[in-house]
Structure 1
Amino acid sequence: MPIYDYFCPSNNQTIEVMHSYSREIKTWGELCQLAQCETGETPEDAPVRRVISAPMLSVPTSNSDYKNAGFTKLVKRDKGVYENVTASD
């Protein structure tokens, strides 16, 4: 299921929740119920809106990161020979 961020202008809070694509969250009460948190002093009928956020990307930085992610990294050596630098010793 995708993760969405919702912003409530009444209290200036942003909450991240996971739900199906077809579900619509329109009020603070619905959002808090889905996120399993307290509504606090904000009215339950306060409107919320979905905000666009950049997805988090994980970029491998070492050979072991590539291996742990299930990839193979080949490095070109002498005379066009490629060496697998993620292979186990």
Structure 2
Amino acid sequence: MPTYDYRIEATGDVFEVKHTMALTPRNWGELCELANLNPQDIPVDSAVTKLLTTAGVVKSTTLKNPEAPPCMSGGGCPSGGCGI
């Protein structure tokens, strides 16, 4: 299940929440319900913003084979599809 970061516009606090891609909470109350969070003293109608993160990005230098597969460098994959 993907992890998303949300900023509460009323306070600037950021929370990391796991949920399916199909869900998009629009306010703090919906986010609390979705992630089983305590709303604390923050108004439940406070807007939340999904933040863009780089989670899941892998640098090629950390791989055993840092070369890009043929399909990513202009060639074709030997089996017809490399899954990228």
When the two structures are superposed, what TM-score results if normalisation uses the length of structure 2? Answer: 0.62
More strand by share: 1
Larger Rg: 1
SS of 2:29's equivalent? Answer: helix
1:6-85 to 2 correspondences below 5 Å: 6-55=6-55
Note the residue ranges of structure 2 that are not aligned, 5 or more in a row. 65-84
Matched letter for residue 7 of structure 1? R
Cα root mean square deviation, aligned? 2.1
- Distance of 1:9 and 1:53 partners within structure 2: 17
Matched letter for residue 44 of structure 1? V
> Per chain length, whose mean CA-contact separation is higher, i.e. which structure has more relative contact order (CA < 8 Å, sep 6+)?
2
Q: Percent identity?
A: 31
Residues 28, 45 of structure 1: 8 Å contact kept: yes
| Aligned length in residues | 63
SS of 2:4's equivalent? Answer: strand
Note the residue ranges of structure 1 that are not aligned, 5 or more in a row. 62-70, 72-89
